[in-house]
């Protein structure tokens, strides 16, 4: 039985309920891109809350996307889970 996703297009991360593959990950540069990927529109001036290892940070949506535990946008919690690679 082989890899059904192929070597180059494996699942990398889940944002909410959507799975991001390696080829799609190249298009996600900012948190705004990640929110658009899951179908949420946000203005360039919006500020989101990120939670990583029980640390809370307020960052603009135009900041570089990093894999955190959770994003809080408009009172909704969006979990992010790494599917491939080193886990911290």
Contact 30, 64 (CB under 8 A): yes
pLDDT tens-digit readout, 15-59: 999 999 988 989 999 999 999 999 999 999 999 999 999 999 999
Strand order in the sheet with 70-73: 18-21, 11-15, 76-82, 70-73, 47-52, 55-60
Q: Would you list the domain boundaries of the chain?
A: 11-82
CA dist list (Å): 55 to 10, 51, 58, 70: 29, 6, 10, 10
pLDDT for 1 equals 47
pLDDT tens-digit readout, 51-78: 999 999 999 999 999 999 999 999 999 9
Contact 65, 13 (CB under 8 A): no
Contacts of 76 (CB under 8 A, 6+ apart): none
Is 88 a residue whose pLDDT tops 70?
A: no
């Amino acid at each position: 039985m082989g890899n059904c996703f192929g070597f180059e297009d494996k699942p990398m991360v889940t944002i909410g309920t959507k799975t991001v593959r390696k080829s799609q990950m190249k298009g996600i540069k900012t948190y705004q891109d990640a929110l658009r990927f899951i179908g949420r529109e946000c203005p360039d001036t919006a500020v989101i809350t990120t939670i990583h290892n029980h640390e809370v940070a307020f960052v603009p949506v135009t900041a570089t996307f990093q894999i955190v535990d959770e994003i809080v946008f408009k009172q909704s919690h969006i979990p992010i889970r790494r599917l491939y690679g080193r886990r911290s």
